[in-house]
Structure 1
């Protein structure tokens, strides 16, 4: 048995749904309890086995790390490529460097960094649900209340899955996609960073648009609170409006207006003119 009714309060839409199911019998409840007990016992013994196994592995890992650290070669600030350091563990401290800045031509953004991230959000309807169970006429009934709000979301919200789609339709696609651009080659001193090292440069900072030159921007774009809004009314967005924010990681320009280049200070493995994680 299912009942549906809905009504609207101010700007938030509320929809309620009631479903009914029969209460389980004695044998069914007994079966569920026995099954849960057996699973609990099995999980207990499994956790003991995993605990002792992990302790043994942790000890072996620590011994290997201690042995490796005792052989670390520290490079001074004016180091160069030394064949004697090939295939050895070294401690490196050097500033990041990239040959060319990263840019997004659609928004006239240019940053000298290892990574430039474009994050896109769209103003959409979002569904929330809250359920409660209650007894009535010997049956268990579940009442689910659905509420709908408009929010900025970075992922598409499929309104077709809403309990009440009418009046809460979202667009099926975003006008702009999120993307992260990565410099093709990153150096620290004379060494080229491996892909693994580059993947771990994720200390993203929001790009401030306070002093951004908006003269050459497209007329449909508006800057507000470090966002590019695809609307002339950022304080009164409508469903389907898009906003874009940029962030960067791993500053690498010698004279960047954003600050000094990031310094790599790690124990790394050298192979030729490439450096890797240990």
Structure 2
């Protein structure tokens, strides 16, 4: 069913038996999620401790380097802190669009003007346990990162996609970046920030060459992609953007915009191990590698504090992900109970709320147990505190169950 705005509504029904079968099949997925969450939480705690120990070891070992104007053999093989300017004489070239720049990095970002399908679903449980799903599909024109296959749309008519050209996002790094008398390795060059828009200044000859390459009849492109016409300018340069289409101010389906960014020479501060005229990561006694590059002039202590903060933030992000996966896994284990109760929709809602709470408590408790066991090996005090918290959640779950059982009897 569609309306005059091009949106499309689809109604599907699922029987109670089908839902029940799907819920039982979901138990296997739930078990996999719990196993994956357990592995992630265990690995993350080990990673956090190893990285923290490596940072602490590096902090005690690092020596400030007074200058980088000449190679000092006294620092060979040592972990050093140094400040200076990262510079390159290399010219980076985009071979497709012919853009050239003297920079540490050159980045190309490609966007396509396409029809995009959006969907919104609403589920309704019916008496008897069946489920009805009403899905509304709507269509909008948007700039997206890649071509959209309109043949997969629920309603393709009037929403056909095409592209004038096809390209991809690419980054180039200067192979030779100097740091005083030293040369920066690729792993440090990739950490250099300060990216800015690259102002394009294309001559008429360059635009004509691109027009010919992309839209001339003998261009090496699939004929379905050649939408330009001779005599019509399809290449427009605006700031850091190459616009490929007829009118930049009025985009049409199939238009492409390609934006360019450069990373110029910059002041940087580094912590790394000296290896001849370059640097390598420091490897701690536990085998964990450590190095750091900060933009601008940063003191050594602030760089180590930033490394510690980054390690802690990553630890909490992965812990949160592990807990979410664990709770979702337990939720799938209990899903059949809700489906069974959905024979009476109101009862299904009540059971669903209850199983959701139980899944949340069990998932959180299990996550705390795994984290605690992992930390006991390295941080016994914190590990036992976490085990205590997990035990408290289990006791809370047990007491809640006893209270529910005692409620009807006392009445």
2:231 aligned with 1:235: no
Shift of 1:72: 2.0
Greater fraction strand: 1
2-structure distance, mates of 1:183, 1:46: 42
2-structure distance, mates of 1:56, 1:239: 50
2-structure distance, mates of 1:246, 1:270: 34
2-structure distance, mates of 1:239, 1:27: 44
Greater fraction helix: 2
2-structure distance, mates of 1:220, 1:183: 31
The alignment covers a number of residue pairs equal to 255
Indicate the RMSD between aligned Cα atoms, in angstroms: 3.5
5+ unaligned residues in a row in structure 1: which ranges? 253-261
1:47-89 residue CA offsets vs partner (Å, 9 max, x unmatched): 9x947x8667645544443333233222224531122211111
2:8 aligned with 1:15: yes
Please, which of 70, 86, 91 is the counterpart of residue 101 of structure 1?
91
2:76 aligned with 1:86: yes
Map 1:55-94 onto structure 2 (within 5 A). Answer: 58-59=48-49, 61-94=51-84
1-structure distance, mates of 2:252, 2:259: 18
1-structure distance, mates of 2:20, 2:245: 62
2:157 aligned with 1:143: no
Structure 1 62/123 Cα, relative in aligned 2: closer, same or farther at 3 Å? Answer: closer
Please, which of 96, 116, 122 is the counterpart of residue 126 of structure 1?
116
Aligned 8 A contact 1:95 1:189 in 2:
yes
Q: Secondary structure at the match of 2:188?
A: helix
Q: Secondary structure at the match of 2:7?
A: strand
Shift of 1:216: 4.5
1-structure distance, mates of 2:173, 2:276: 23
2:210 aligned with 1:220: no
Q: Secondary structure at the match of 1:94?
A: strand
Please, which of 268, 272, 276 is the counterpart of residue 272 of structure 2?
268
Give every structure 1 segment of 4 or more consecutive aligned residues whose post-TM-superposition deviation is greater than 4 Å: 24-33, 53-61, 105-108, 135-138, 213-217
Aligned 8 A contact 1:122 1:174 in 2:
no
2-structure distance, mates of 1:105, 1:56: 44
